[in-house]
Amino acid sequence: MFSIVITALVILTITLIMMTLASLLSKKNISDREKSSPFECGFDPKSSSRLPFSLRFFLIAIIFLIFDVEIALILPMIIIMKTSNLMTWTFTSTYFIIILLMGLYHEWNQGALNWNS
């Protein structure tokens, strides 16, 4: 028991030393204006270098990821249908698909799926 505590303390100490060294060595000094400004052949930028972020695109990407994960969860349900209890499989599948359809209806109601606005 005592050797486990000693080993844990040694590992913790080595980890803390490595994290401290990494944070000390990775500090960057951003005191120069030229280093912090965007590069445009030595001239001052004419406009902001940052483009406005499209929240619409972000929402569409999130919806795509959600439905992609849902497909990855639905496909194995077809494979396990033969090996599982049919009543339990039907209840679980129906419950899962009803939750997905309720989420889709909510997104549609909130206007997240309006492409032309």
Is there a domain that residue 39 lies in? no
Is there a domain that residue 75 lies in? yes
User: Residue 95: what pLDDT?
Assistant: 93
| Confidence category of residue 14, pLDDT binned at 50, 70, 90 | very high
Cβ proximity of 74 and 95 under 8 Å: no
CA distance 115 to 56: 9
Is there a domain that residue 89 lies in? yes
Q: Which domain holds residue 78?
A: 55-110
**SS3 of residue 49 by DSSP:** coil
Q: C-alpha 104: how far from its chain's center?
A: 20
Is there a domain that residue 42 lies in? no
CA distance 60 to 57: 5
First to last CA, the chain: 65
Is there a domain that residue 24 lies in? no
Is there a domain that residue 98 lies in? yes
User: Residue 13: what pLDDT?
Assistant: 96
**SS3 of residue 38 by DSSP:** coil
| Confidence category of residue 114, pLDDT binned at 50, 70, 90 | confident
pLDDT (tens digit, 9 = 90+) per residue, 21-57?
Answer: 988 887 665 555 556 666 656 666 566 666 677 777 8
Overall number of domains in the chain: 1
User: Residue 78: what pLDDT?
Assistant: 85
User: Residue 56: what pLDDT?
Assistant: 77
Is there a domain that residue 1 lies in? no
pLDDT (tens digit, 9 = 90+) per residue, 52-107?
Answer: 777 778 878 888 888 888 888 888 888 888 888 989 999 999 999 999 899 889 88
Residues 6+ apart with CB under 8 A from 100: 70
Is there a domain that residue 26 lies in? no
